[in-house]
Structure 1
Amino acid sequence: MKDVLLMAAFAFGGAACAGLLGAVALRLLRHRSVAVSLAVVAAVAVAAMLAGTLAVAWAMFLSPHDLSVVTLVAAMAAVVSLATALLLGRWVVARGRDLARAARDFGEGGSFAAPPARATAELAAVTRELAATSARLAASRERERALESSRRELVAWISHDLRTPLAGLRAMAEALEDGVAADPARYHRQIRTEVERLGTMVGDLFELSRIHAGALELTPSRVSFRDLAADALLGADPLARERGVRLCGEDIVHVPVEVDGKEMTRVLTNLLVNAIRHTPADGTVAVRVDRHEDTAVLSVTDGCGGIPEEDLPKVFDTGWRGNSARTPPAGAGLGLAIVRGIVEAHAGRARVHNVPGGCRFEVTLPLAAAST
C-alpha cells in the first residue's frame, strides 16, 4: 500500500509540473488562435502523462530499455494528440471565420445569412442568435420605415388641414376688418368654430407627441368599465342625434379596471366619435363590455360597411384615414393612434376586425386586482 501511495505521489508531482507549465503557456497565448490553445491543451495532457510516467519510472529504477519504451509510447501518443488537436483547431477556426464574415456582412446593413458549413454546438448557438437578431433588426427597420412614411404623410395632411381653415379665418377677419361682412355675428360664430377645431387638432398632436415620447403620465385608479362607457355614451349622444345615429349600450356589465379615468374616457370618446362619423343616418353604434377570464373587453361596433382587409393592420397607424368614405372633414387621422397609445400605456391592446355591415373596435385591459 505504501508503494502505491509513493508511486501516486511521484506521478502527481510530475503531472502537476507539466500542468503548471501548460497553464502558464495558456495564459501567455490566451489572445492567440483557438487552434494554438487546443495544441497546448493536447501537449499538456501528453506531457503530464509522460512526466508522471517518467517520475515513477525513475523512482522504480526501471531499466534503460523499459524507460525508452515508455518514452517512445508517450512520444507517439503526443504526435497523434497534437495532430488531432491541430486539425480540430483549424476546423474550429475555419468555422469561426465563416461566422465572422457572415456577421460582418450582417453588420454592414444586410441580413444575416448563416454559413452553410456545420459548426460546433456553441458556434451554432451563436449563429441562431445572430439570425434571430437579424430578424428583429429587419422588423425594426421595417417599422422605422413605416413610421417615417406615416410621419411624412401626417405632416402633409396636417399642412393641408391647417391651410384650409386658416385661409377661411383670414378671409373672414379681412371681411370684418373692411366692414363688408353682411352678417358679422355669423362670421364670429364661424371663426369660433374654426378656432375650436384647430385647438382640437393641436391638442391631438400634443397628446400623440407625449405618447411617442413616453411622457404620458397616468394616474390609475380603480373604476368600473361600465361607468366609463356610460359617461362616454352620454358625451357622444349630441353628435349621434345630430347625425341621426342610434347609440346602443345595453350589453354593458360591471367590470373593475385599474386605469387613468381621464385618458380612458378619451379613448372611449375617440372610438365613439369615429364610429358615429362613419355610420350612415338611421344606423346603430353598439357599445358592449364583457369579461373574459382576467381581462375586460370593451367593443364599439359601427355600421361603416367594413374596412378593406389590406387596410386593417394600418387602422391604428399615425395619420391613417383610409379611403374618402372614411375620411372625416379636416380629420388628421390621429384619434385611433391616440387610442392605441393610451391603451398600450395601460398594458392593454386595441384591435379592429370587420363584422357584417361594419367593423368592431375592441379595447382589452387587464382586470383590476382584487381589493383586500
Structure 2
Amino acid sequence: MSAEVFATVAGIALGCALVVGALALLTLRLLSRWSLVMQVVVIAFATIASVVSGTSAVASLMYLSAHDLNVFYSVAVVAGIVSLVMASVLGRSLARDNQYFRAAAASIGRGESVTSPDRHTSTEFASLAGELAATADRLAESRKREERIEASRREIVAWISHDLRTPLAGIRAMAEALEDGMAPDPERYYVQIRGQVDRLSGMVDDLFELSKIHAGALQLNLERVALYDLISDTIADLAPVALAKSLDLRFEGERGLTLQADARELARAVGNLVMNAIQHSPAGSAIVVSVTPHVDGRAVISVVDAAGGIPERDLGRVFEAGWRASEPRTTSAWGTGAGQSGGAGLGLAIVEGIVRAHAGQVTVTNVENGCRFELLLPQHPLG
C-alpha cells in the first residue's frame, strides 16, 4: 500500500470514527440519567459503528464487489450482536457492583457492618469492597469508643456531683453549727472544715489535670530524674497513710536508674497508683514499688498490691476516665491523688495521660491476690 493510499484510508477511518464518536458522546449526554447498562451498550455500539462505517466508506472507494460487501456486513452484524450482548452482560455486572456500593455506603451511614460479596467485576472493585468493609468495621469501633467515652463523661458528672455534695454538705453543717454557737469543739470543726476543703481542692486539681491531658495542653518540664529519689519521696509522703492501715509499703529494685522526665508529673502518677493500692489493700498486706530496667532500654516502675485483683472484663476499662472498680475492689473509688479519699474515677486516667505525655506506656495485670501496674518510660521521651 502506497503512502497516498494509506493516508486516504486513515483519513476516511478517522473521519468516520470522529463522527460516530461525537454522536455517541451526545447520546451518552442525553442518557446520563439512564442505567449504566445502557451507557455501556452505547459505547460498544459506537465502537462497532465506527469500524463498520469506516470500512464501508473505504470499501466503496475501492469498488469491492457487492458479494464481498455483503460478506463483510454479515460478519460485522454477527460480531456486533455478540459485542452488544457482552457489553450488556458487563453493564449488568457493573450495575450490580454499583448497587452493592450504594447499599454498603448506606450501611456505613447507619452504623451497620458491611459484608463483601463473593464476586466482583474486577480486582479493583473487589479491593474497594474490602476497604469499605474494613472502613465500616473501623467506624463501628470508633462509634463504640465514642459511646464509652460519652458514658464515662456522664458518669464523671454524676459522680463528681455526688462526691462534691458530701463535703459541701459537711462544710455547710459545720459552718452553721459554728455560726449558731452550737459546736461543742470549735477547734475540731475548723480542722474538719479544712480537711474537707483540701479534699475538694484535690478533686478540682484532678479535673483540671485531666482536662489539660485531654486537650493536649499538658506541658512537661523535662529534667534528669533519679527514679529512686522520686519514689522514695513518694513512699515517705504516703507512709503515714499506709501505716494507719497496717500496710507494708516498701521499695525494691534498681537504685541507679535515671531518665528525662517531668519530676512533678511523674511523682503524681506514681502517687496515684500507690494511693489507690493503699485504699484497696487489706490490713497487714504489702505494697511493693519497684524500678527495673526493661530489655529494650526503658525503665519500668511497677506497683504491686494484694487488693484482690480486677475482674478480667474490667481490665480493658481501668484507664477510662470515670471508671470505678467493681468487686472485689469496691472499698473506695479509684480516683483521687495522694492523700485524698474517694474521688470520681480520675486517678488512673491521669496516670495514663501523664505516661503517654512521656511517650511511655502503662499496663495492668492481675497477679496472685492482687494487681501489678507498670509504667514503661523511655530514657528520652522527646528523642
Identify which range, 266-275 or 360-369, moves more after superposition. 360-369
Percent identity between matched residues is 45
Aligned partner of 2:273: which letter?
L
Aligned to 2:128: 126
| Unaligned segments of structure 2, at least 5 residues | 334-340
Q: Tell me which residue corresponds to 2:235.
A: 236
Deviation at 1:160, TM superposition (A): 2.0
Any runs of at least 4 consecutive aligned residues in structure 1 with deviations exceeding 6 A, and if so which? none
**What is the SS of the residue equivalent to 1:247?**
strand
Structure 1 unaligned segments of length 5 or more: list them.
Answer: none
1:338 matched residue in structure 2: 350
Q: Which residue of 2 aligns with 1:53?
A: 55
Shift of 1:5: 4.3
> Are the aligned partners of 1:243 and 1:281 in contact in 2 as well (CA < 8 Å)?
no
Residues in 1 aligned to 2:297 and 2:16: alpha-carbon distance in whole angstroms: 65
CA 1:356/1:21 → structure 2, altered by over 3 Å: closer, same or farther?
A: farther
User: Is structure 2 residue 381 aligned with structure 1 residue 361?
Assistant: no
User: Which amino acid counterpart does residue 363 of structure 1 have in structure 2?
Assistant: L
- Give how far 1:43 is off: 2.4
- Could you list the per-position Cα deviations for residues 247-280 of structure 1 after superposition, in whole angstroms to 9, with x for gaps in the alignment? 21433553534x4443333222222222233334
**Deviation at residue 133 of structure 1 after TM alignment:** 2.0
- Relative to structure 1, the CA distance from residue 73 to residue 303 in structure 2 (aligned partners, 3 Å threshold; closer, same or farther) is same
Letter in 2 for 1:293: D
Question: For the residues of structure 1 that align with 2:211 and 2:142, how far apart are their CA atoms?
Answer: 20
Aligned to 2:313: 310
Instruction: Pick one of 52, 62, 65 that aligns with 1:63.
Output: 65
Distance 1:263 1:18 in 2: 79
Aligned to 2:271: 269
Q: Does the CA-based 8 Å contact 1:255-1:367 persist in structure 2?
A: yes
Question: Relative to 1, partners in 2 of residues 1:356 and 1:10: Cα closer, same or farther, differing over 3 Å?
Answer: farther
SS in 2 for 1:45: helix
Give distance in 1, aligned partners of 2:19 and 2:365: 71
Q: What corresponds to 1:251 in structure 2?
A: 254
How many equivalent residue pairs?
364
**CA shift for structure 1 position 229:** 5.4
For residue 101 of structure 2, what is the aligned residue in structure 1? 99
Superposed counterparts of 1:110-125, under 5 Å: 110-114=111-115, 116=117, 118-120=119-121, 121-125=123-127
Contact preservation (8 Å) 2:111, 2:139:
no
| Corresponding position of 2:337 | none
In structure 2, what is the equivalent of residue 327 of structure 1? 332
Match of 1:186 among 152, 175, 188: 188
Q: Deviations over 1:179-224 (max 9, x none)?
A: 2323222211111111011000011112222333x24232353534
Alignment of 1:66-215 (within 5 A): 66-107=68-109, 109-114=110-115, 116=117, 118-120=119-121, 121-212=123-214, 214-215=215-216
Residue type at the aligned position of 1:221: L
In 1, Cα distance between equivalents of 2:84 and 2:198: 84
Structure-2 residue corresponding to 1:9: 7
Letter in 2 for 1:200: G
Query: Any idea what the Cα deviations from partners look like across 1:59-106, whole Å, max 9, x if unmatched?
Result: 543233323322332232222212211221123213322432343244
With the length of structure 2 as denominator, give the TM-score of the two structures: 0.83
Cα distance, 1:47 vs structure 2 = 3.1
Contact 2:293 2:300 in 1 (8 A): yes
Root mean square deviation, CA, Å: 2.9
Instruction: Report how far residue 317 of structure 1 moved.
Output: 1.6
CA–CA separation in structure 1 for the residues paired with 2:138 and 2:104: 17
How far off its partner does 1:173 sit?
1.0
| 95 and 286 in structure 1: CA distance in 2 versus 1, 3 angstrom threshold | same
Q: Matched residue of 2:294: which SS?
A: strand
Q: Read off the aligned partner of 2:120 and give its amino acid letter.
A: A
Q: 1:106 to 1:117 in 2, by over 3 A?
A: same
